[in-house]
Structures are given as structure tokens and as C-alpha cells.
Structure 1
Amino acid sequence: MSHSPEDHAARIALGDALFRYVEGRPFDLDPGSLDPNELAFAAYRLIPRVLRGQSGIDTGITFFGHELSSPLAVGAYAGDRILAETGIGPVADACQAMGLPLFVSEECVTPLREIVARHNRVWLQLRAAGPQSRAVDLIAQAARHGASGIVLTVLAPTHPRPGLQPGGFSIGREIAERGWSTIGSPTGIAPLPSFPAWSWVDAEAVAATARQLGLPVILKGILAPEDGERALQGVADAIMVSNIGGRQFGRWAAPVNQLSAIRERCGRAAPILIDGGIRNGGDVVIARALGADVAVMVRPVVLALAAGGSAAVRSLLAKVMDETAAVASWLGAATLDEIDSEQITRLPV
């Protein structure tokens, strides 16, 4: 994990236990080792084209009918008011001001209606586990409050054995001890059963309900090209290539290393997002070159909010957007669509 001055400030603000939770070090990652997702991004190099005569750089894209100023989104995280007294509200304000989508966890303490009132491009993220009826009820809540869509987390949505929480900290226990509710449950974080696990049939049925209510569905946690292809055959409208930040297990395949094969298998008909290891604008451009439409950033945003509040979040997002534009321009592109796999190489292992 990185140890920047911003991280140091966040550690002071959060305390060691919460900082370790945000870092999300899983049980199999040695103390002091670097984030595998960050290491995976660090192995890629971009190949610029020169003397292209561009008249400018446009980083805008269209995402489910909305114009985004940059191919960037802020990802979901649990226990927002545990990590900052303000909760996720300042993040929603920043994303609204900058034209970026915001994914919100069902494990957020701030009510969904309050978040949607501050931002008009909010997607609700649910765990693909437990009774279908629970997911259907939450989807109905999302539609009622004006959410833009649903994200279903299909990789490691539950803990089949106790004591394996990321960073050794139970955010659910902390929420329960404070007597707080979340979007997904009036009694904190709902303890969902690991078995029977959902099948494609379950996911398809729940996704169909979302579509009936006018909400598109993203399946999060795709790492195998075959799963990406299956997801887009009637289940999801888009997929998110993600290992859940490597929080449950440090040796999942890195999303950035799977991205190209998944895009090749799935074609260009549906959006593909990437989550895990996005730390700067260079990472965003690398993700685009490998086939992602949108890069999702989570951990740096949470740490910025803890360290410096709303101003720090806005500064971080503006910096990443500026870096994205600069790197794309230096590559010789006038738009992001001009960047592809011909301009990227990977260091030998």
C-alpha cells in the first residue's frame, strides 16, 4: 500500500484500526507488501505517438445516456459515517459538480434518498446473496428514490467463514454497536447466508426486476472472460471487471490484467468498467487502452475525505481528471477513442 502524505493524514484522522480497514489488507497478504492491484498497473507502459497536430483534448464519454466529463467514477464503500462524520454527502456533491457517476453501497449509513437528492447519477450496489426478495425490495427502493441503476456484486458477496474481514476490522459490528441502520437493513449490515449461493438464474431474475423498473444493471466482480460473456447474455447491461479491491483475497487475478481478454471476448456492444488499483490519471488511460470504458476509484477518495473533507475530495478528483487529459494528449490523442491496445506494452514478468 502507498504511504503518501495524504495517507499519513488519513491514518491520523481515522486511527490505525479504521485505516487498516480502508486499506483492506486480506488474510493472505504479508504485512508491508504492496497492493497487488497497484503493482499490476505499474507493469504497464504507454507508447506515445508524436506530431499528430491535435487541436485539443476531449476526455468526455457517454455512459448510459449521460455525458461524463471524464471516464471516471467513484466506487461504493461501506460504513460511510464510520469513516467520516459527514458520511458520503461531500463525495456526492463533488461527483455532481464534476459530472461523475457515484456508486453507493447498500452498507452506507446515509439514507439513499439523501444521497440522490445531492447527486443525480447514483447507482445502488447490492450483494448478490440471500433471498431474491431482499434484493428486489432494495431495487424498488432505488427506483423510488430516483437512482440511475443497480450494481450487483457477484464475487465474494459474503464471508463463508468468520473472522476474515478486510484489515481485521468488522465495519458491520461497528455500525451495529452504534445502533445505526444502513440502506440495506434497519439493523446495520444484513448478515446474508453464503449458501445456497446465487446462480445465473437468480441474477437474471433479479436483474429482470430492475429493468422492469427502468434501472440498468452492472455485474461487479467479473474476472473470467467466460463470465463476462455470460453476464451480457440477458443478465447485465454492463460488467465491472473487479476483484473487490483484493480485500477478501490478495491473489485474485488483477482486474487490469484480465481486462483485454474480457473485452476481446465480450466485444464492444456493452460498457465495461474496471475497479481496483486506480490511483491516478495514468491508470485511467491505461485502463482505457486495454478496453475499459470507465475506471472506478474508491480507496483514494475515502482517504481524501477522511484527511481533508470535501475540499480534499474535489482536489483529488480534479487532479485525476487533469492527469487523464494530460496523458491522453501526450499520447497524441484528440479523444479517448483514439487510444487503443497498440499504444500499450507490459513489462516482462
Structure 2
Amino acid sequence: MTKGFRFRLAGRTAPLTVEDWRKRARSRVPGMVWAYIENGADDERTLRENREAYQEWYLNQRVLTTTSGVDLRVKIAGTSLDLPVLLAPTGLAGAAHWHGDLGAARAAERAGTRLVLSSASAYSIEEVARGTAENHWFQLYPWRDRALIASLMDRARDSGFTALCVTVDVPVYGNRLRERRTGMALPPTLTPARVLNAATRPRWSYGYLRHRRTTLRNLVADESRRGGFESVEVQSDNLTSDIGWADLEWIRSRWEGPLLVKGVMHPDDAERVVDIGADGVVVSNHGGRQLNAVQPTLQALPAIAERVGDRAEVLMDGGIRSGSDVIIALALGADACLVGRPLVYGLAGGGTEGVADVLRILKEEMVRDMTMMGTASVGELSLSNLLPRH
């Protein structure tokens, strides 16, 4: 196990915003990898509108409120967090930087929050457990092979992962055109031009060749290029549209800890998820990477929070790029948020330290904004803290 991931961030060019980290990340990875990080499905309407939805709300500024401190602490799925932002499950994070999921988990710990480790992670369940001090969460797909997903649940439980997050919005892969056009389809396609493009990113290329963190380590252990292809094939072969509520009931019966269901976009589905026994839902459209032209998650959030918020915890992801975005989501009914692309921007731009800095930026923006809003804690946030644009 590699120890002590460190990068020094200093000087006038240090990123000041998540967008700054996005720009740095774009300059650090090959075009194929950037397409995988950044693209959405089809014409990417949902990807765009996830971001644009936050522009429909203003923060409600109040003055002379004697707000002398802001409390961002929350308790989600039995886990106390210093920040209401978790790192979302991100498949193949090692393609962005070899620190991958382990580096992201360590960064989350430093910020007082947690990583939701993807089933498709570049570090195995056991590697992340051995390399971290806290108990993180595990993300599971309801794949075709029940023996495989039972094994993953058992490994997560035995390794100390405390909550299970079941992603239910990938019965098939979304039509991610940028990935297909740049060779990141399944399996990836390399051409001389793409190899040359990777060579212009020497830091990334060295990390890739030296550490080989582009295999889905929970599915196969082989670090070779063949192992990488094989692991992706295992995942692809296990995708199935023939999953239903009985599959979720079976998962609930096997997992004794907190269970959240990710990919919920309709209040009726949220209600049924909670009736089955889920402890929470994650309002998510997979970052615009699955069903295109579905509504933005921020628009779907209020109705779901109203329907099940008194019975279960409601989280959301999609389009968050700033502390004010998190505040808006919490005011509209979320108990906490997850961030995916911001995680990968930090990872691609600066490894573990980059992810830690992204979380620091989000925290500082939230504290600053809530101070100027006169709101002392995230528990006080409600619709009264917002003004509609129209």
C-alpha cells in the first residue's frame, strides 16, 4: 500500500474555486480521460440543466444578525459529519489520478466527511479500509449476478463500511457520445493520435504506467491492461434491465446497516423505496450521464423531500460547483449533498491534496455565505432562506 500521498499547493496560481480546479484538471489529463470525466448522455441537456437549475434561486441576505459562527455539522446514516457534503461514488477514479479512491477517502477524512466508495473503484474495498482511519460508505449496483453483489456486500461489511448506497439508475449504460468519440467506449480504443495526446501529459502518463490504477479492483485483481479490460467486461456483462423491487428487498434483507438508494427522481419511487425499508434516498440523475432530458435533480428534490423527508434522509447530487449551490440544495430539502465531478477535478488536478482543497473551498464558501445570510447552522436552512428568480 502506498502511503503518504502529498502535493504542495502554493503560490499565485493556487486554485481559488471549484472551477479553477476544473481548469487545472483539464490541463492534466489526456483527452480520452477528460471526456470520461466531463461528458453527459446524448446532447447533454440534463448535464447542462443540472448546473443551470441553481441559477433559478437567490440567497436571501439578512443583516445585523450577530451571527458569530456557522455550524455545518450533520448526522447522516448514523455518521456524524463536519460538512454536509460527501464524495460521491465515482467509477474508475484512478484514471484521473493514480491516488484514486484511496486518496479521495483520505481527503474526505481530513474534511470531516466520507467517501462513498464505488463498486467500480480503482482501489479495492480492502485497500481503502486498510489505508484509512474512518469507516466510509460503499456503493452497490444491483447487478445480474447475486452471488457477486452478495460477496461485495459481505466484503464491505467485514471491512467496516457502515452504510450501503444502492445505485438503481443504470439498467443499461447511457449514450455518452464524447466517450465514444474519443475512444473511451467499452473496451477503450487506442490510436496513435490518442497515445500521442497522452504523452503530452507526462505527469499523468507516469502515474498511469507506474501504478496502473485503471482496473476495477473489486471485480478482478489483475493490474495488467488485460485485467483492466476484463474488469470492465465483468461490470458490463452484469448490467441488466431485469431488476425490480424484489431485488431491492433482497439487498435490504442482507444488509443490516443504514441503506440509501441512489438514482431516485420521482416521489412515488422515493415512497416505495422507504416503504421497503431504506433509510434514505439520493435524488440523482447520475450527473446527466444516464437518461438525457430528465429534469435536473434540484428541481426533483423538493417534491421528494416533501413526500418522504419526515421518514427518511434525503440527499442529492448533480451540478454542485460551489458552497452556495450546497446551501440552495439544503434549503430546498436535502439533508446533505454528494459531489462527483468536483471530486474528480481535484483528483485530476492535484491528487489527494486537490480533493482536500475542493472540500476546503466548499466549506469556506458555505461558512462565508451563511454568515452574510445570518444563518447560524445548516439545520436552520429552509425555503425562507431563498428567493425565486422569477
Same fold (TM over 0.5): yes
Q: Kindly report structure 1 stretches of 4+ aligned residues shifted beyond 4 Å.
A: 2-5, 163-166, 193-196
Q: Which residue of 2 aligns with 1:246?
A: 288
Distance in 1 separating the partners of 2:25 and 2:101: 16
2:217 to 182, 197, 211: 182
Relative distance call for 1:5 and 1:61 in structure 2 (3 A) is closer
Name the CA shift for 1:90/1:259 in 2 (closer, same or farther; >3 Å).
Answer: same
What are the superposed Cα offsets for residues 307-326 of structure 1, whole Å, 9 maximum, x if unpaired?
12222221111110111112
User: Residues 18 and 273 of structure 1: is their aligned pair in 2 closer, same or farther, counting only changes over 3 Å?
Assistant: same
The one-letter code of the counterpart of 2:360 is: A
Offset of 1:87 from its aligned partner? 2.1
In terms of mean alpha carbon deviation, does 336-345 or 99-108 score higher? 336-345
Trace 1:1-349 onto structure 2 (pairs within 5 A).
Answer: 4-29=19-44, 35-117=48-130, 118-159=132-173, 164=176, 167-168=179-180, 169-170=183-184, 173-174=187-188, 180-185=215-220, 187-189=230-232, 190-211=235-256, 215-348=257-390
Mark the CA change 1:155 to 1:265 in structure 2 (over 3 Å): closer, same or farther: same
Structure 2 CA distance for partners of 1:265 and 1:95, relative to 1, 3 Å: same
Matched residues, number: 338
1:64 offset after TM fit, Å? 2.5
CA distance in 1, matches of 2:273, 2:52: 28
Q: Which amino acid aligns with 2:27?
A: I
Quote how far apart the aligned CAs of 1:139 are: 0.5
Is 1:275–1:296's contact at 8 Å kept on the other side of the alignment? yes
Contact 2:87 2:340 in 1 (8 A): yes
CA RMSD of superposed structures (Å): 2.4
Give the superposition deviation at 1:255.
0.8
Q: What SS does the aligned partner of 1:232 have? A: helix
- Structure 1 contact 127–157 (Cα < 8 Å) conserved: no
Deviation at 1:158, TM superposition (A): 2.7
Change (3 A) 1:285 1:5: closer
By how many angstroms is 1:5 displaced?
4.3
Structure 2 CA distance for aligned equivalents of residues 343 and 164 of structure 1: 37
Structure 1, unpaired ranges of 5+: none
Conserved 8 A contact 1:92-1:119: no
CA displacement, residues 61-102 of structure 1 (integer Å, 9 cap, x when unaligned): 112332211111011111122221222222111111111111
Following the alignment from structure 1 to structure 2, what is the Cα–Cα distance between the partners of residues 29 and 46? 27
Structure 1 counterpart of 2:320, which letter? I
Determine helix, strand or coil for the equivalent of 1:269: coil
**Aligned residue type for 2:251:** V
The verdict on how the C-alpha distance between 1:195 and 1:183 changes in structure 2, with shifts beyond 3 A counting, is closer
Change (3 A) 1:185 1:220: farther
Measure the CA separation in 2 of the matches of 1:107 and 1:138: 11
The SS at the match of 2:25 is: helix
Q: How far apart in 1 are the matches of 2:296 and 2:136?
A: 26
Instruction: Measure, in 2, the Cα distance between the counterparts of 1:62 and 1:9.
Output: 33
Q: Which moved more, 1:186-195 or 1:227-236?
A: 186-195
CA contact (8 A) 1:102 1:121 kept: no
Q: Distance in 1 between matches of 2:63 and 2:337?
A: 26
* 8 Å Cα contact 2:92-2:216 kept in structure 1: no
- 2:18, 2:353 → 1: CA distance? 21
CA contact (8 A) 2:165 2:261 kept: yes
Deviations 1:269-300 (A, max 9, x none): 32111111111100111011001011111101
* 1:285 alignment partner AA: I
Question: Relative contact order (C-alpha < 8 Å, sep 6+): which is higher?
Answer: 2
Paired with 1:100 and 1:19, the residues of 2 have a C-alpha distance of 26
Code of the aligned partner of 1:154: V
TM-score normalised by L of structure 2 = 0.80
Deviates more, 1:151-160 or 1:139-148: 151-160
> CA contact under 8 A between 2:28 and 2:348: conserved in structure 1?
yes
